Structure 1
């Protein structure tokens, strides 16, 4: 087995930190105005009794933004799915499968706590899947402000799976570009046929915490003190978190 020196190993580590730092700088330069606008939209929604919802296709936003110390209690995850176990190889070979995505999305929205005037963030790096586009279109039609977090260097080059031909950035009200490169991964490595270290997860988290900071700034400027989580692991944490949930339940912000 070939043993590499610590110095050699650190080259890629250093390259990653350089790449992600540059990506965050790009986001700050290119998205600050959009982030400020989204924060203002969210603050207005909260002031009017609205809720901020997060729907992500698997790149950590729901777990990153919901229930975190320093995060807003008003931020709520929105997930849904339909699992059917009924395998039959003959039918699967000979019969076409009906498209039920619109019905699933409609039912999910109907059964959810999403209401007109709310804000729904939808995270998808590619933005091409039928479900995220359908969700954006249906939510927007019911009076929800939809915010896409997607990769504008990537998504426009992909073919949509939605019947309309739209991708998420074309279906949502507002677009926040995570500045991930085509294919998402940032680092080319000699000896590998694929790049490594995706940008989208850290980038999206950075964007959303900036939005969160902007929401707090807007609310406080308007005389509203939002309910913010304290760490559950601090002394008295569980009781404090419970009290903050109760405060939010009472005030709605």
Structure 2
């Protein structure tokens, strides 16, 4: 295997230092392969049972949820729970701005209101992503899943979480609630590169490490589904499978997603 040349940090450019730090994240993820395999076992069991893996992330953790599904190389079986009020950063200020999103991320009770929309089953599993693991809504989301008998896999930056103070009234962090914890490997504060004449680092790493974790799990789940005789309908590009096959896969995958999602709504709330 070709390895990158050793880096002389004294003379390395900021871009080179970022790439070197990213290589370190790859090693941290690789050390977690047993836990990744365990998460894949749980997720595959859920999908084979006709149920869904619920995936939640607030703030920029939304990126990891969208990496999971739907995009090229992904498949049905995942329920992306992405609240615009917690994740819509584009306007930055003004109506729907970032200040409001950061405030709402720490409002107690919001997680319960979100999950009130779904009829959950103990056959379900959940993935909750939060770099700090210290904001209220992701922690309460994990708590709400656990109260309903749903196993929870958390994706956090362990270093960042350890260095941060939780905003949860009970003093819990996401890692305290989850059944299984995966570490993106990103440092405290997330940013990985120091540059001259700037007292704060730049260029975060949690998305790199998080997407590595997400796609490792995705590949492992696909292998388990295929081995069980239920190969997934993978969203695929026309340049690889042909235009007609690509359309067929997209339509069938979206239909399967709709059918799985329908089960989450059919028995919501008390019987009428």
Q: Which TM class, normalised by the smaller chain length? A: 0.7 to 0.9
Correspondent of 1:167 among 166, 173, 183: 173
Alpha-carbon shift at residue 167 of structure 1 (Å): 0.4
| Distance change in 2, residues 1:82/1:180 (3 Å) | closer
Match of 1:244, SS state, is helix
1:225 aligns with 2:228: no
Could you tell me how far apart the structure 2 residues matched to 1:205 and 1:165 are?
28
Report whether the alignment pairs 1:73 with 2:79: no
Partner SS, residue 111 of structure 1: coil
Distance 2:136 2:108 in 1: 7
State the partner residue of 1:144.
150
C-alpha contact (below 8 Å) 2:134/2:173 kept by paired residues: yes
Structure 2: runs of 5 or more not aligned:
1-10, 87-105, 262-272
2:20 and 2:107 mapped to 1: Cα distance?
44
1:38 paired residue number: 39
Determine if contact 2:76/2:256 at 8 Å carries over to the other structure: no
Alignment pair present for 1:110 and 2:111: no
Q: Which has more radius of gyration?
A: 1
1:1-253 equivalences under 5 Å are 11-29=13-31, 31-57=32-58, 58-59=60-61, 60-80=63-83, 101-102=108-109, 104-112=110-118, 114-231=120-237, 235-236=243-244, 237-247=246-256
Q: CA deviation at 1:113?
A: 5.5
Q: TM-score scaled to structure 2, two decimals?
A: 0.76
Q: Which moved more, 1:220-229 or 1:166-175?
A: 220-229
Cα–Cα, structure 1 residues 23 and 82, in superposed 2: closer, same or farther, change >3 Å? Answer: closer
Q: Residues of 2 paired with 1:141 and 1:123: CA distance?
A: 18
Deviations, residues 63-113 of structure 1 (Å, cap 9, x unaligned): 222211110222221023769xxxxxxxxxxxxxxx9622x3222112135
Counterpart contact for 1:54–1:61, Cα < 8 Å: no
- Does the C-alpha gap of structure 1 residues 232 and 121 become closer, same or farther in structure 2, counting only changes over 3 Å? farther
Aligned mates of 2:136, 2:184 — CA distance in 1: 20
Range that drifts further, 201-210 or 117-126: 117-126
- Please give the alpha-carbon distance, in whole angstroms, between the structure 1 residues aligned to 2:74 and 2:253: 12
Structure 1 counterpart SS, 2:116: helix
CA distance in 2, matches of 1:184, 1:75: 27
Report if the CA contact (8 A) 2:111-2:137 is conserved: yes
SS in 1 for 2:186: coil
Aligned partners of 2:132 and 2:164 also within 8 Å: yes
1:22-63 Cα distance to aligned partner (Å, 9 max, x none): 21122112x111101100111111122221122112231122
